């Protein structure tokens, strides 16, 4: 049996994957091999001359076979990068993408501004009640999936409370493990249920300072045309947004404002070409609705604010 060094295996696998039509052949080779060898990817570069034993080679071949069958490399290795951190992913959750990093960057700016602002009494829709921003910053992540949004918010804004919902119990288990690994499990409540229903059950109407969601937004008819590694492996429930892709977004747009404190923000990731329609939907219940671009310059983030004219006033009463 041939003895392979790390560098030889990288070179051979890169060329083989290229021949099979894989665009990111070198990157995927390194991700698979570092996983097989229990090394960080950067550590491969310090081990080019290392010879693989039979067990290591067998593990690598098994991983490579799964990738050649079309399984996304993130599912093969069980992890995906997001905002310079690594998160566990399984076929129960959507693989995080750069568009969601852009959503997260914008959301963190908004939440950071709220966190830095003086706490003021905010009138609720219920007479005599006071919004939660007076005492704590409450953030909701609707359709949390792997929990990358909820976990990142908790990491970056340590004094906030996050409620993360998802209809999939399997997804919530992945999200909870990611929060635990990041050391922020105590800040996040993971709630099983459809869309905003779990927030309603928790009595969070008028208490949420920022409501964030990367919802399903792919039109049902477009799913057969998605790349095979998306169509055949990622959870359909996290992709399928109904006939026009907006079924879930409509539900959030219709009911989301009721959960926000005055001045609170609703922030959505939307599909390419959907921003104008979503802007119209949010404008029915929110003000200052704006569209923001992702890293590729596409209109993929739509955000609006609950009307803030009903604030009770400053800290001096």
- The pLDDT, as a whole number, for residue 117 is 79
pLDDT beneath 50, residues of the chain: 121-132, 310-317
Find the helix packing angle between 169-182 and 148-156, rounded to 10°: 30
- The pLDDT, as a whole number, for residue 312 is 36
Q: What is the pLDDT of residues 25-81, one digit of tens each?
A: 999 999 999 999 999 999 999 999 999 999 999 999 999 999 999 999 999 999 999
Four-residue CA torsion sign, 215, 216, 219, 222: positive
Q: Torsions phi, psi of 113, nearest 5?
A: -65, -40
* pTM for the predicted model, two decimal places: 0.89
Both tokens of 195, joined, read 């869309």
Both tokens of 78, joined, read 């069980």
DSSP string, 90-146: -TTSPPP-HHHHHHHHHHHHHHHHHHHSPP--BB-SSTT-B-GGGT-EEEEEES-TT
- The pLDDT, as a whole number, for residue 270 is 98
- The pLDDT, as a whole number, for residue 124 is 39
- The pLDDT, as a whole number, for residue 308 is 76
- The pLDDT, as a whole number, for residue 133 is 52
- The pLDDT, as a whole number, for residue 119 is 59
The domains found in the chain, sorted by start residue, are 6-69 (1.10.8), 98-305 (3.40.50.150)
């Amino acid at each position: 049996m041939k003895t392979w060094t790390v560098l030889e295996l990288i070179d051979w696998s890169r060329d083989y994957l290229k021949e099979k039509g894989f665009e990111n052949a070198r990157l995927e080779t390194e991700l698979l091999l570092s996983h097989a060898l229990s090394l960080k990817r950067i550590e491969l570069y310090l081990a080019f001359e290392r010879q693989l034993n039979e067990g290591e080679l067998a593990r690598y071949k098994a991983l490579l076979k799964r990738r050649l069958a079309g399984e996304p490399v993130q599912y093969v290795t069980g992890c995906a990068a997001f905002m310079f951190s690594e998160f566990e992913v399984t076929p129960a959750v959507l693989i995080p993408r750069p568009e969601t990093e852009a959503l997260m960057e914008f959301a963190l700016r908004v939440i950071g501004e709220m966190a830095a602002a003086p706490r003021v009494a905010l009138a609720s829709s219920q007479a005599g009640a006071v919004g939660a921003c007076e005492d704590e910053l409450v953030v909701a992540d609707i359709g949390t999936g792997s929990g990358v949004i909820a976990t990142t918010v908790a990491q970056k804004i340590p004094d906030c409370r996050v409620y993360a919902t998802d209809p999939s119990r399997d997804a919530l288990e992945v999200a909870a493990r990611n929060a635990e690994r990041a050391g922020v499990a105590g800040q996040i409540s993971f709630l099983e249920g459809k869309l905003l229903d779990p927030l309603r059950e928790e009595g969070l109407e008028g208490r949420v300072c920022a409501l964030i969601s990367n919802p399903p937004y792919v039109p049902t008819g477009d799913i057969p045309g998605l790349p095979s590694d998306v169509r055949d492996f990622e959870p359909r429930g996290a992709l399928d947004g109904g006939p026009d892709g907006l079924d879930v977004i409509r539900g959030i747009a219709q009911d989301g404002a009721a959960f926000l404190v005055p001045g609170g923000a609703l922030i959505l990731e939307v599909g390419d070409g959907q921003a104008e329609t979503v802007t119209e939907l949010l404008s029915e219940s929110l003000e200052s609705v704006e569209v923001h671009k992702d890293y590729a310059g596409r209109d993929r983030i739509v955000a609006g604010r609950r009307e803030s004219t009903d604030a009770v006033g400053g800290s001096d009463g």
